[in-house]
Structure 1
Amino acid sequence: MVGELRTPAPDSRAKKAPNRQSRSCKVCRLRKVKCDRVKPCHACCAHGYPSKCVYETVPGDEARPISQAEEIRNLRAEIQELRTRIDERQDGSHDQDLERLDRLESLFESIRSAPLSVVDHIVREVRFAHGGIKKDLVQVGPWEGHEAYNSYHNSRASPPLSIIPIRQRASDSGSDLNFSDPPTYDDDDSEDQMSLSSVSDSSGSSGTIYLIGMQRPSVDVFVERFVDAFSPQVDTKSGRAGALRAAAGIRMFSPLISDAFEAVSVAFFGRSIQNKQLEASGFRLYPRVLRELQEALTDPERSKSEATLVTVTLLLAFESVERTTAKGVPAHVRGAVRLIEHRGPENHMYGVEHLLFTELRPYWIAGACAGREPSFLAHEDWRTIPWSAGTTTKDILHHLLDLATEVPALLSQSDSFKAAQQGASKMGAQETAAKQAALWNGITDLTARFYQWYHDWVKCYPDGPPEEVEQTEDQDFPIFKRRDLRTGAIYTPTRLSYPNLLLAQTMCVYYAFRLILSSIDTRPEDRVSVPEQYELGCGICRTYAFYILTAPGNMINRLAFPTRVAWEAFPDNGPERAFMTEVLQLVEKRHSLALWGGGMSELSAQQGTPLNTA
């Protein structure tokens, strides 16, 4: 019929669109490099920022990148469903389920920890199988937490790989997926060598996967234990704690992160179960991770990758567990802070990088206070840019930390003023008065803003302010005793109870920074007096019972710096320090944290302490 609108015949190519990837990720498009359209793609993984690999949504386009994390979740769910079904059956008719369970677990192990070239292939097969796993899909694994090495053979491929050092990354000469990480194998790793075996495609395909089978158990259980301890799953009212958990989720895409997680988690697991042999295994891996990290730090591009930042943070956690040296923790804190400054605020707006910066911001500022030098964290761009993308919003703690970033500069100013007074060329009376006034004005202004923060955020806290609760012997916690500063008598005060962990941590951080600021407060009027300092220290001690008995995992580490600051506010041989000693020993025993058992002297922010003179 003339004028009739005809529907155009569908293009045969359009029918295939859902089964092919039509877009590159944003990073590859900006860098103008080839993208393999896996999420995260190889290019993003190789350059150390897998969490930045994102794909724009195009209206009407059904194609989407292959999400390895999604396939892991799907396989995990199906495995759990099959296990439940098998457990519920009593008639023994579950041979097919058992067979499928074995195949799924093999695939799950491979996707989780195999080399990227293997993972990409498996995920594509699973994604496009639609009706389930293909019958001719090659079963590979288990990889047991370590990299294995493969070679997919075709007419142009090189001969199969033979024995390869454990830490050397594979590279297929016929592929454009090349890893730039250099080999790190040495003679000390001889005990970790693996035996070569192969698994062939049951369909007779020419593709053969060569793998090296570990003789020791999988480290995945160690990583899960470590993540549960240092990055427990909590709600936002407890304080965000998901950074290391998110980092563990991308470790398969970074050899550096994978090695770091293995070293730290094995050592932690061994220590937590008092297995010296297992703990020593983690120690043996530790130097290798340090070497790999040093290589990354000397590379202009890799030094800014999220893999490098994650590894530095993991080594900081390792030092809190093992306390290898008295300067281990502050050295890693200083290294992390320098790395953060090198990366710039714009590189902490998204993903794991944002979580690491925001969750550990109290540590970075505490490190600046311990160094008693002005900090870049006080600059306006560091207070705003990391939150400008809306990845998270500032809570009560971060509004407090905005003020706390100014404390290191005042400490430095005070130290410089004292040094000038005691120097050979002493200042004149006019210069002395000007510098003294500038310091006092800074302390006055910041103290007033601390008071205003307390009024705006604590007194008006939506869930209510802290409450006082009687201490009892049945609370399974040491009893805090303090002095009556007027009479000198020792008595048992109330402890503080909070509506949530976030407020408890925030108040301890508040008390700590107020104490540090008061240590340089020599104003003739309105200065923070010794009794006020004592009360600030007692506030931290009165919070311990609530926080330590409530906080999951090793979130207690968030009170490490406030604890050291409070320790220095009390006199020797008093009931306060006796109580704190009991707490330190309790935390070391319950949480396997050598940092606490050592008294944390390296965290001191006092002038002239080992940390400040290092």
Structure 2
Amino acid sequence: MGGDTRPPATDLRARKPPSRQSRSCKVCRLRKVKCDRVKPCHACCAHGYPSKCFYERIPDEDAQPISQAEEIRKLRAEIRDLRARIDERQDGSRTQDLQRLDQLESLFESIRSAPPRVVDSLVRDIRAVHGVLKNDLTVVGPWEGHEAYENYGRQSRGSSVSTLPVRKRISNAETEVNFNDPVELDDDDDELLDSGSESTSSSGTITVMSMQRPVIDAFVERFVDAFAPEVDIKSGRAGALRAAAGIRMFSPLISDAYEAVSVAFFGRSIQSKQIEASGFRLYPRVLRSLQDALNDPERCKAESTLVTVVLLLAFESVERTTQSGVSAHVRGAVRLIEHRGPENHMYGVEHLMFTELRPYWIGGAIAARKPSFFAREEWKTIPWSAGTTTKDILHHLLDLAADIPGLLAQSDSFLEKHKVSVMGAQEMAVKQATLWNGITELTGKFHQWVIDWVESYPDGAPREEEQTEDQGFPIFQRRDLRTGATFIPTKLSYPNLLLAQTMCLYYAFRLILSSVDKRPVDRVTPMEQYDLGCGICRSLEWYILTAPGNMINRLAFPTRVAWEAFPDGGPERAFLVEVLQLVEKRHALGLWGSAMPELSVRENSPMNNE
């Protein structure tokens, strides 16, 4: 009856060695390629997936990956300690410490900004001697005169060297800054540009090639602050381009793209045509590199390719190089996103690029007036399935808006067939009923969304306030549609930027849907359409004066929809013209100054003509 209670014999063969770090990253293991054990490794960087490079713990492996970030932290700590010792010492050893400090700072700059192959070699050398610098360690940094950087510069910038005059401005600290004043170069900017050149000529010029990497980094920082300002969650997430800037050192494509757009943006913001033109000179090379990546079956799915497409979209909002530039980049981004699939937008920078810029992608799909993959359930669920972020009030609205392109396509097809009389009476009745049922269902979902999300919004509903001229913002006037008289309505003030953006998009989506709503009952009336357009206009002042940096681009699409809702020559259009000119002048956004025809949602719009 009693079983054997002796402990089982220990099977020595069953013992497993302790789990240690893998020699190769998971991606290289799966691809069965050589991994250089840098984190992120060169293979992942070369294929555009630095954020996906990680090391599993696997038995019988004893080597640790080389972490560039770890070495940067160690170098920073050693530099900090050396500076403290130098400040305390006054003896002969101070000279040796200064020499070592110079060497450490050079190494730090190299690891932070040199080409990946150079970084890999330097980090290995540091690790090989356990942090002790070898006498023959070659220091390669982004400074004019060092052979390795000159070679890299010729590869990445071409052989031409451009001169950039620096324009000075006399600043007056007591001068009041007006909202309508353009951004100008101040003394800090002068110092920044001067510090980027080892020498300046008597005419006050600097060259692109003589700009030190810290200057380019400062330009990138300005660009990131403008297009991805650090805001709280209630303002809406805005960290995608900032996160992408953090991995640019691992991708030549991203690095070149950031340099091109940030230099051009800086030049435009300080109204320096020469600096702006230097960014333009880099732009064609970035386009060629991007085209090469898009033509490669593997690289086209890399995060570096997606980041570059988004960066060039931001560049077009600033420069508007062609009338179809913005629409072309939006179309390209949407195609790329579809090709990548929803599962490739669940983590990291790729998730942020998809979710934060989703209003642009949905807006582009609506403007194309064709059924969109965004309406499929997997695109509404899979990117959030990993819990990287959670859906908020805006994304629940976008889930509904994703169905609009299909209804626009149905309406366009129905009208075209009706025009040429290719349908019988029964077929026409069926298609018309299908369209109307779709509009009725989606309209009902919009009404329910208002009840579920807007009326119960935890921070409160929008408030109505009197318009005043003390903000330096145009005054919106609307008409009484019964009498034709004009009057100044209240403006809308919001508890946060997220709700303001969401409500403007809601008004825009309802306006677009109403343009094909020909139902005999319950359709949106012309007066209701007018009120929806006015809702956008009444929200512009609060959002534009509140939003940091170029977050105002988030209202570009609703603003264009409102523009098309009003007749030409009326007070509403006149107000919008003033707003567009003000934004273009203040924020150096060429897209707004053009009245944004690329964002039209009408038939035969730039988005619709492919």
Please say whether Structure 1 and Structure 2 have the same fold, judged by a TM-score greater than 0.5. Answer: yes
Deviation per residue, 1:10-65 (Å, 9 max, x gap): xxx99xx99xx644222122223222222111111111111111223579999753
Q: Secondary structure at the match of 2:363?
A: helix
- The answer to whether the 8 A contact 2:22-2:62 is kept is no
**2:470 alignment counterpart:** 474
* Shift in alpha-carbon separation, 1:81–1:243, aligned structure 2, 3 A: farther
Which of 219, 222, 227 is 1:225 aligned to? 222
* Shift in alpha-carbon separation, 1:475–1:89, aligned structure 2, 3 A: farther
Is structure 2 residue 298 aligned with structure 1 residue 301? yes
Deviation per residue, 1:441-492 (Å, 9 max, x gap): 0000000001111110111112222122222222232222212223322222
Cα shift at 1:235: 1.8
* Shift in alpha-carbon separation, 1:463–1:64, aligned structure 2, 3 A: farther
**1:565 alignment counterpart:** 561
- The answer to whether the 8 A contact 2:113-2:142 is kept is yes
Which of 551, 556, 559 is 1:555 aligned to? 551
**1:32 alignment counterpart:** 32
Cα shift at 1:383: 1.0
Q: Distance in 1 between matches of 2:573 and 2:540?
A: 13
Q: Distance in 2 between matches of 1:81 and 1:497?
A: 51
Q: Letter of the aligned partner of 1:66 in structure 2?
A: I
Deviation per residue, 1:295-349 (Å, 9 max, x gap): 1111111111111111111111111110011000001111111111111111111
Q: Distance in 1 between matches of 2:72 and 2:551?
A: 28
Cα shift at 1:120: 2.2
Q: Secondary structure at the match of 2:608?
A: helix
Q: Secondary structure at the match of 1:475?
A: coil
Is structure 2 residue 414 aligned with structure 1 residue 417? yes
**2:266 alignment counterpart:** 269
* Shift in alpha-carbon separation, 1:73–1:493, aligned structure 2, 3 A: farther
Is structure 2 residue 545 aligned with structure 1 residue 575? no
Give the alignment of 1:517-596 within 5 angstroms. 517-596=513-592
Which of 236, 240, 257 is 1:239 aligned to? 236
Which of 318, 335, 338 is 1:338 aligned to? 335
Q: Distance in 2 between matches of 1:334 and 1:283?
A: 22
Q: Secondary structure at the match of 1:364?
A: helix
- The answer to whether the 8 A contact 2:257-2:312 is kept is yes
* Shift in alpha-carbon separation, 1:454–1:432, aligned structure 2, 3 A: same
Give the alignment of 1:71-150 within 5 angstroms. 71-72=71-72, 75=75, 102-124=102-124, 134=133, 136=135, 138=137, 140-143=139-142, 149=148
Is structure 2 residue 395 aligned with structure 1 residue 398? yes
Is structure 2 residue 60 aligned with structure 1 residue 69? no
Q: Letter of the aligned partner of 1:142 in structure 2?
A: G
Q: Letter of the aligned partner of 2:329 in structure 1?
A: H
Q: Secondary structure at the match of 2:464?
A: strand
**1:191 alignment counterpart:** 161
Q: Letter of the aligned partner of 2:278 in structure 1?
A: S
Q: Secondary structure at the match of 1:571?
A: coil
**1:257 alignment counterpart:** 254
Choose 138-147 or 277-286, whichever is displaced more.
138-147
Q: Distance in 2 between matches of 1:326 and 1:115?
A: 35
Q: Letter of the aligned partner of 2:413 in structure 1?
A: S
Q: Secondary structure at the match of 1:588?
A: helix
Q: Secondary structure at the match of 1:496?
A: strand
- The answer to whether the 8 A contact 1:495-1:542 is kept is yes
Cα shift at 1:217: 4.0
Q: Distance in 2 between matches of 1:59 and 1:474?
A: 69
* Shift in alpha-carbon separation, 1:167–1:461, aligned structure 2, 3 A: farther
Q: Secondary structure at the match of 2:161?
A: helix
Q: Distance in 1 between matches of 2:76 and 2:476?
A: 47
Deviation per residue, 1:567-604 (Å, 9 max, x gap): 11112122211111111111111211100001001110
Deviation per residue, 1:391-446 (Å, 9 max, x gap): 111111111111110000000000000000111x4322211111111111000000
Q: Letter of the aligned partner of 2:472 in structure 1?
A: D
Q: Distance in 1 between matches of 2:492 and 2:59?
A: 54
Contiguous gaps of at least 5 residues in structure 1: 1-12, 151-162, 169-183, 194-212
- The answer to whether the 8 A contact 2:153-2:209 is kept is no
- The answer to whether the 8 A contact 1:115-1:148 is kept is no
Q: Distance in 1 between matches of 2:212 and 2:589?
A: 25
**1:205 alignment counterpart:** none
Is structure 2 residue 380 aligned with structure 1 residue 383? yes
Cα shift at 1:129: 7.2
Q: Distance in 1 between matches of 2:63 and 2:133?
A: 21
Cα shift at 1:121: 3.4
Is structure 2 residue 483 aligned with structure 1 residue 487? yes
**2:318 alignment counterpart:** 321
**2:355 alignment counterpart:** 358
* Shift in alpha-carbon separation, 1:250–1:610, aligned structure 2, 3 A: closer
* Shift in alpha-carbon separation, 1:433–1:119, aligned structure 2, 3 A: same
Contiguous gaps of at least 5 residues in structure 2: 1-16, 164-207
**1:41 alignment counterpart:** 41
Deviation per residue, 1:52-105 (Å, 9 max, x gap): 112235799997533323444565677679889999999xx9877765654443
Q: Secondary structure at the match of 1:391?
A: coil
| Identity in percent | 73
Choose 217-226 or 583-592, whichever is displaced more.
217-226
Q: Secondary structure at the match of 1:612?
A: coil
Q: Letter of the aligned partner of 1:56 in structure 2?
A: E
- The answer to whether the 8 A contact 2:161-2:209 is kept is no
Q: Secondary structure at the match of 1:374?
A: coil
**Normalising by the residue count of structure 1, what TM-score does the alignment of the two structures yield?**
0.82
Choose 100-109 or 40-49, whichever is displaced more.
100-109
Q: Distance in 1 between matches of 2:66 and 2:249?
A: 15
- The answer to whether the 8 A contact 1:113-1:146 is kept is no
Choose 101-110 or 229-238, whichever is displaced more.
101-110
Q: Secondary structure at the match of 1:134?
A: coil
**1:171 alignment counterpart:** none
**Normalising by the residue count of structure 2, what TM-score does the alignment of the two structures yield?**
0.82
Cα shift at 1:609: 3.0
Cα shift at 1:111: 1.2
- The answer to whether the 8 A contact 1:109-1:144 is kept is no
Cα shift at 1:167: 5.2
Cα shift at 1:389: 1.2
Q: Distance in 1 between matches of 2:302 and 2:433?
A: 44
Q: Letter of the aligned partner of 1:524 in structure 2?
A: P
**1:216 alignment counterpart:** 211
Q: Letter of the aligned partner of 1:239 in structure 2?
A: G
* Shift in alpha-carbon separation, 1:164–1:127, aligned structure 2, 3 A: closer
Q: Secondary structure at the match of 2:54?
A: coil
